[in-house]
Each structure stands twice: as C-alpha cells, then as structure tokens.
A = this chain, B = another copy of it.
Amino acid sequence: MPQRYVYNFGGGKADGRGEMKDILGGKGANLAEMTNLGVPVPAGFTISTRVCTYYMEHDSTFPDGLVEEVDAAIAKVGSEMRREFGGSVSPLLLSVRSGARVSMPGMMDSVLNIGMNDTTAASIVAKTGTERFVYDSYRRLIQMYSDVVMDLPIGEFNALLDERKKEKGVWHDTDLTAEDLKDLAGKFKEKVKKLSGKDFPDDPHEQLWGAIRAVFDSWNIPRAIAYRKLNDIPHDWGTAVNVQAMVFGNMGEGSATGVAFTRDPATGEKVFYGEWLSNAQGEDVVSGVRTPQPINLAQKKEDEGDSLEEAMPEIYAELDAIRQMLELHYTDTQDLEFTIQAGKLWMLQTRTGKRTAEAAIRIAVEMEAEGLIDRKTAILRVDPDQLEQQLHQKLDPNAEFEALTKGLPASPGAAVGRVVFTAEDAVEWSEDSDEEKHRTVLVREETSPEDIDGMNASQGFLTARGGMTSHAAVVARGMGKCCVAGAGHIKIDYASRTFSVKGTTIKEGDWLTLDGSTGEVILGQMPTVDPELSGNFATLMEWADEFRQLGVRTNADTPEDAARARSFGAEGIGLCRTEHMFFGEGRIKYIRAMIMAADEDERREALEKLLPFQREDFEGILEVMEGRPVTIRLLDPPLHEFIPATDKEIEGLAAELGKDADEMKERAAALREVNPMLGHRGCRLGITYPEVYEMQARAIFEAAKALAERGIDARPEVMIPLVGEPKELSILRKLVEKVAAEVLGDDTDAVPYHIGTMIEIPRAAIVADEIAEHADFFSFGTNDLTQMTYGFSRDDASSFLKDYLKRGILRKDPFQSLDKRGVGALVQMAVDNGRLAKPDLHMGICGEHGGDPESIYFCHRVGLDYVSCSPYRVPVARLAAAHAVLRARIRGIM
C-alpha cells in the first residue's frame, strides 16, 4: 500500500485522530479529533509532516501522487461545504496553515482566502451580496500572499492602504468602502507586477500550491529555528499543512472571531476566559492590532465593550458547551479559536492552553480535586522550569509608589529593568560587559515573532497594544516572564528612543518596574519580595515529595541561604564552599598571610587565626541545617585568587604583614598560572599544604562538637575536591580522620560524620571504583567535569559557544543542561563502578545542573541519591525529581 499523505476532516468525521500528532501536527490532529467529537469544524484536510520531510530532503520537490491526493481532498471538502474550488458559481475559499507536532504560536506563516480572483470574487459578491467583505478578503489575500509566498516587501502594500485611508480621512481599515477595497486589490496586483515582474497568480490551484510551499519553506526561516532552539524542538520533525475551507468572522455585524481558554490562563481560576472581536478575522485578535472585548460578563470591566455573552447569547452558550466538552475530553485546559460567520459558530482550533506557573499549579491541583485527572497527571502538568517564577519577582506589597499607567496584567510576577525599545538592544545589552545593563524591560507597540531572542533576553515586556492573548502575553506566560500588555496610554517614539505617558517622558536606559499581576507600570526600581509558598503550591510540592526518589539538597555558603533553602524544602546542603568565607572582613588578611608565609610554621600561625572564623561559619550553617547533612568542601580555588592583583595592592599587603614587598611580588607572580582551571588547586593544595585542610577539618569538627554539646544534631560531611587519583583521597581522608579523632576524642557517636569526594575530573570518573574504596560519598561536580570533558573553559568559551549554539553544533549549552552523551557517560561510568566497589556509596550532584529539570531526569535515571541546587531551584528540583519517576513509569508502560 502506498504511503498516505493527505487526511480529510469535516462533516462529523475525519481520516485522522487526535493521537496522530506526529503525522498531522498538533493543529491537524486536533481538527480531526474535534471533527470526530461532533464539534463544528470547517471541512478541510491535512498534508502530513512526511511530505515536509520529503520536501526538505528532496530539494524542495513533492512526492509522487501528492497532487492527486490533494485534488481528491479538495473535491471532498468542496462537496462537504457545497462549494467548488476555483468554481465560478459557488467558489470555495481555503486557508493554508502550518501545524507542527507541538504548538509554535505565531512562528509559522499562514495564507488565507486562497481561491480569490476577479472571477470568484465577483461570483461570491453576486451570490452573497457582501461586496465590501469580499474585496476586503481579496486584498488581504494579495497582501498576505505577496508577503509570505512571493516574499515582497509588505510595507509597500501597507503604504498603499495607509495612503487610501489618508485620502478618505479615515482611521480604521473598517471605515474603507467596498469600492476602496476593490480598487486597492487592483493596485496591489499592479504593485506585485511592478515588484516581482510577475503577475499575481489568478489560478486558485497555483495559489494553493504556492501557499503549501511557503508553509514548508517557512519551517526553516530564522525565527522558526530560533523558537525551536528555545523550546528544544528537533529541526527534523517538519510541519504539516492544514488546508481548510475559509469561514469568515469579518462578514459583517453577525460575524466575529475570538480566542478563549477553558480556564483563566493567568490565575488558573475555573472560569471561561476569552476575547472576541466582531467583524474581524482571527489575526486581528492575536496580533493585537485591535484591542478585543471580553468574552463574558464575568470578565467584563467597567469601561469595556459588549461581551460575546451579551452580544450573541446563543452562540456564547454553544461555545461554552463546546468548551466544557473539550476540557472533559482532553482533561486539560484548552486554548480555543473560533469564528462566527453570519451567525454560525465554527471552531478553528483547540490546543493545550499555555498558562502561568500560578495557573498551572492551580489548574493541576483543582482538576485533581475535581476527579478530572489523577495525582500523577497533576504533577506532570506543571513544568518544573516554570516554578521558579513562583518563587521570586513579586513586587513588595509594602512598596509605595504611584503607577505611571496601567495595562493588562498579561503575565504575573514583577520585572525590574532598564527600558529598551528593540529586541536587538535587549540582546545586546544582556551581553554588555557592563552588568548594570543586563536587566532590561522591552517596551514595544506590540511584539512579533521576530522579537523572540530579545524577549528571552529581557526581564519583562510592556506593550502599548494587544490583549491577554496577544503575542507578547502568550510568549511571556510561556517563558515565565512578566508582561503588561495593551497599555494604551503610552506613546512610543522609536526614533528618539523614548516613550511618554501623561506628560512624563521615559528614556532608553531608565529604570522601569512592571507588575504583571496588576498591570501597573512604575518608574524606577521597586523592591520585590519572596512569595508565599502555601496553598496550591504547597499541595503540589507535597505530592511531588510523595513520588520523588531523589533527595533535594541545596548549594549554600551562608546561614541565610541555608535558611531560605530550607524554607523551600532543601533536605540538606550538598555543597558549602568554604573559600567564599575567606573573603569576609577581617579574614582575607589572614588567608593572604597564610599564602605568603615563608614556611610551614608561619603558615600554621596564620591558619591559627583563621580557625575561629571558620568554626563560627560552620557552626552557623550546621545549626540552621540541624539534623540534615551539610557537605562542606575543603579549599578548592588556586591560591592566587586570594592575592591582590596589582603591584600597589601587594605593596600595601606587604606593609600590613611586615614583609618584603619584592619578595611578595615574586611569590604572587609564582602563584599565577597559565591555566588555573587545571592548576594547583583542590586536593592538590591539600596534599602540598596539609595544614590548610587540617585547619578546615578542625574548624568543622570543633563546630560540630560545640553544637552537639548544646544538644544540636550536626551532621557534617567533609568533601575533598578535585580528586583524580585514589591515593590523593586516601592520604587526605587519613588527615581528616586524624583531626576528627583529635577533636572528638573517644566520643565518636556525638558527631556522626562522613568523608567523601567530588567527582569532577574525567579520570576520577574512570577510576571511580578505586576512589570509592576511600569515600563514603561521591558528589558530581558537573561544572568542572563539563569543562574538562569538553575542553571548554567557562571563562573563555563564550567566544565560540554562542556560535556553536546558533549553528546547531551544540543543541544546548552544556553548562546549563548536562551533556548526557559525553559528560553523562562519565557520570554513568562513575556511578556504576563506584557502586560495584561499594554498594552503599551515597551519590549526588552539586554542579549547577542539579537545578535543571532535564539534568535531574538524567540524575534519577543513573541512580543518584540526591541533587543539590541553588535555593531558588529547590522546588524546581523537587518537582522535576517527581517528574523523573513518573516519566520513567510512563516509558515503562509504553
């Protein structure tokens, strides 16, 4: 049987089904599914993603037989809609839309009103008498087609439109007459001829195939590639093409179009939520060109126009019924697109609705309570990465301010940054060497898919136009960023890089604060506060804890960080860096004296002075983490990091220490290294200067002992960094044990302690079985392990890494998401060999990957005992750890 390329739907039955997303794309599969469910969907067909793959692999040609299949499908659509494509009596108009496996909002091009030409237009006018609408559609076709298919400059067409509006003294497109539009269609065609040297294709089939090609071609335009990169969508999936009978929301006052969510996508509240525009086509809502009206009374605010519920109560009731049915069917919040054509409701799309983290949590918890989904599904419904936005970036409720203006609260949270006016600037500023410029707020009339990179680079977005479902709002919620949309009072002047609102002018670079939960726009930097972690959030976290197997610890160097992490649910400290403590007031002097010491005696003298500080540090942290393990890493960075850099500073230090300045300069120079990353650091310092580690171990055990005497359960774990050779660990373990015995004496039960090592050098992973013999635990330092496994210095790699990501040489930044194939293979090797040598070896990860969900899934899979991450990532990690278990089960079943 030959491969099938085309799948029809319409009239209550479809060739495809909802599960066939791989072949039909998300949109196509859902159109088929809705059709099968009896939802009114305009008839159409889907050209499968296989054709896209074929097209890309075969030099932009189509497989044999496709044309015939499409012809047959068109005939079927025509018969269903009782129209004929290219026919002169009842011409069928078609839309052509892309539709990949996963939703890519606004990323792909579409062409509407395919099939229009002078003949069919006249015929429709003759048949329906809606001349204005017909020529509006006609000129739209020419405009879109010229832009998307023929790649002509859209501005030239808009200029003609604007010119005509000026001539007529009108503001809105809708104020133009049928004659104006008909005339414009003619002018557009002339413009096409002039710009391209070719006639605009009058043949409906030529139009159709041009549009199909354009959809396939648009799969590889830069903004689509950028979106896929940002969202981890493989480039080789390809898109399907959905060809569907046109229905019109702009057919006069009985027509309308709208977008709706089955629940509030911002708060998660179970209310029907949406926007509509009468006498409009879909893109008018999404693009934010006109600010739409609320869908129902529940949402309607004072100064807003009629809701759909008021304007068309019967249609609204039908839509609400469909909404309930679809949510029940899909058991998830849906994002719906509909069009009302001359009093008849058509559903154009349903898909899983994007939502804020707050909404995601509420919806998941409430749907579980409603019995719609089970607890596991509820957990899986919340994206761990999104959670972090719940944890910070809320405006301090006590902050006093007068808002400049107010827009729509399109995506919650707070954003504080400097004003920029273009996406390019947002990107550029984020890479500026001046860190003061990194935080920006992007201010735009409206955003568009081209702005994706800039939106990713800025803290939040403020738009003058557009509603809750505008591009800016949708993207912001997806990214977990704050957005205030449709702030109609602001006037942007791109040329002078300013915007003004009520007499105040705000310049590029001025500080601005957005409150995405209220829509307020505030001049200056407002304080933000930690959010409450109760209610639905706490419920979800409890559920996650029920399922997860990985422990979640935190990386914290101070009692404050430790306390915060504990409030987020950290079960211990996985990495406490001791060297940060050395930089404190009154300490750095002694560490410098230690480094500059002429001999061991002098060194010990300086260390003696550091000891009380370290002991105090450890006592603080161990106390906060009472009853939970605290992994303390002994001194790791090379010594020159503690030494002043300039000659003058060294002279000052010499004077302070009563030493010879020249001698000290020499010593400082000797400490400098060509590749400090691979130099004299970590346990190598412990081997050559055992007295340093001895002091640190003493501080740890003395702190723990003092706490134990106060009845506090201190659980220190001493971690030796940078081990590459088992003997390094065996020597240093003995050293630490010796100190422990000296401090704790016979009462070893008072302070139960462990000694382990970081696995952060490739060789350590390889000889992990031998290292395990001397270790109670392994902690994977995947930051350094990534640096050495790739041969990438984090400090230097930016010069080529960006290029590598842009060109797809690397799919992800390996410092953000663990490289499972390379670095992961070493982790796996170390886990397997380590456990083989010592079955009860305790293992965790303390690199920054410990807070990255994808990396956490990997950690679960290879059998680590815990992950450790920054305090704010702790809830992310808890949820991701639960996902890891549930996903593994799903894979096990499937």
Interface, chain A (partner B; CB < 8 A): 673-680, 684, 687-688, 722, 724-725, 727-728, 731, 760-763, 766-767, 784, 787-793, 795-797, 799-800, 803-804, 807-810, 819, 821-823, 825-826
Contact = CB atoms under 8 A, between A and B. Distances in A.
B793 A678 contact: yes
Contacts of A767: 821-822
Nearest to A684: B800
Contact of A799 (B679, B731, B809, B819): B679
A684 B799 CA distance: 10
A826 B684 CA distance: 23
A787 B766 CA distance: 15
Contact of A791 (B673, B724, B792, B797): B724
A791 B803 contact: no
28 contacts: A673-B793, A673-B795, A673-B796, A674-B676, A674-B795, A676-B793, A677-B791, A677-B793, A678-B787, A678-B793, A678-B796, A679-B793, A680-B797, A680-B800, A684-B800, A687-B800, A687-B804, A687-B809, A688-B803, A724-B792, A731-B807, A761-B791, A762-B791, A763-B791, A763-B822, A763-B823, A767-B821, A784-B791
Copies of the chain in the assembly: 2
Contacts of A804: 687, 725
Contacts of A788: 678, 762, 788-789, 791
A678 B789 contact: no
A764 to B, nearest CB: 9
A49 to B, nearest CB: 24
A822 B762 CA distance: 8
B725 A792 contact: no
A803 B727 CA distance: 13
A688 B724 contact: no
A766 B724 contact: no
Nearest to A670: B799
Contacts of A819: 763
B688 A796 contact: no
Contacts of A803: 687-688
Contact of A796 (B679, B762, B790, B795): B679
A688 B802 CA distance: 10
Given A675-B675, A724-B792, A724-B822, 18 more contacts: A673-B793, A673-B795, A673-B796, A674-B677, A674-B795, A674-B796, A677-B677, A680-B799, A688-B799, A688-B800, A722-B791, A724-B791, A725-B804, A727-B808, A727-B809, A761-B789, A762-B788, A763-B790
A808 B731 CA distance: 11
A674 B793 contact: yes
A731 B789 contact: no
A480 to B, nearest CB: 30
User: Interface centre among A791, A799, A800, by most B CB within 10 Å?
Assistant: A791
Contact of A809 (B722, B725, B789): B725
A678 B677 contact: yes
Contact of A678 (B675, B687, B822): B675
Contacts of A676: 674-675, 793, 796
B678 A791 contact: yes
A761 B762 CA distance: 10
A445 to B, nearest CB: 34
A597 to B, nearest CB: 16
Nearest to A802: B688
A119 to B, nearest CB: 50
A681 to B, nearest CB: 9
